[in-house]
Amino acid sequence: MRSTALPWRGIVVQADAPSRTLELPVGATARFGRDAGADIVLAGADAGVSRLAGTVTATEDHWLLTNLSHRSTYVVENPEGGGEFVKAAPLRLDMPVPFEFARVVVPGTVRPAAFLVFAPQHAYAERSAHQPAGDPTRTAFPLDENAKYFLVLVALCEPRLRDTTSPVVRTVPEILDRLAGAPGAAGLTRTSVNFHIDYLARVKLRVKPPAPAGKADWQRAALISLALRFDLVRPEHLALLGPAGAQVRAGAGSTAR
């Protein structure tokens, strides 16, 4: 369950069961590992996880992660992002983590151990009605969310949005299958989908071919990467595709990167 508001400035740490929840006020630190004496016990962790694997510390608007392992890199995933993650190298001290909601993954010899961190919502400045003199600022990626090319882009990004670890890069026939019956997708053909992909790559998102030349799907893979990196396609856009049950082979049969 997503924590949208906390009664104080701190973080909530939750292990693999709701009963193991720890509230840390600002400035407090908790130790995690497989040792029973840790503040956050990683249940089911095998011998590949250190007895004292690291610490988390609550701060005003973010939190800090310390990796006490001599060999293992920890990964902090943003389950709400488009595949965002940061890495904490072995023996890294007090690494700032910017995610409001995060999953800390600690590798093991059999399977990884993990726990969740819920942090305060970020503060944002209000939009200013005042516009300084001079040329207006242009939109970096001027996408029309009502256009068919945007539907194609959302269909491309869907597997990664639903599973941030997915390597799937949908083919043109799979995009057509996914968009069959979607509002606004009438009249799409294989030729038009190819046109929209090329238009997105050349004009809208301006992706560049790899050097040296990579796989044949480089254009589609580059579009996915850039669209998710800059939040041009977000989970709420999946509603444009219609019911998820209509999707075809979202995680199989496609070209992986």
Which residues are CB-contacts of 184 (< 8 A; sequence separation ≥ 6)? 146, 148, 151, 240
Q: What domains sit in the chain, N to C, each tagged with a CATH number?
A: 10-118 (2.60.200.20), 148-256 (no CATH)
Handedness of CA 173, 178, 181, 182 (dihedral sign): negative
| CA–centroid distance for 1 within its chain | 17
The tens place of each residue's pLDDT in the chain, 257 residues long, gives 344 444 557 889 988 655 678 999 999 999 999 988 899 998 778 888 999 999 999 997 789 999 999 999 999 998 876 678 899 999 999 999 989 999 999 999 988 999 999 988 777 777 766 666 666 666 778 899 999 999 999 999 999 988 877 889 999 999 999 999 898 899 999 999 999 999 999 999 999 887 666 677 899 999 999 999 888 999 999 999 987 644 444 343 444 33
Whole-number Å distance between alpha carbons of 120 and 134: 37
Paired tokens of 3: 């924590």
Q: What is the pTM of this model?
A: 0.64
Q: H or E element: which one contains 256?
A: strand 255-256
Q: What is the phi-psi region of residue 94: left when phi exceeds 0, alpha when psi lies from -120 to 50, beta otherwise?
A: left
Nearest Cα neighbor of 114 from 30, 20, 14 is 14
| Structure token pair of residue 127 | 């939009």
Q: Which amino acid appears at position 40 of this protein?
A: I
Residue 12: its H or E element:
strand 10-14
CB 25 within 8 A of CB 8: yes
**What does the longest C-alpha to C-alpha distance in the chain come to?**
63
Phi and psi, residue 192, nearest 5°:
-70, -35
User: Which is it for the CA torsion 66, 72, 76, 79, positive or negative?
Assistant: negative
Q: pLDDT tens-digit profile of 3-59?
A: 444 455 788 998 865 567 899 999 999 999 998 889 999 877 888 899 999 999 999
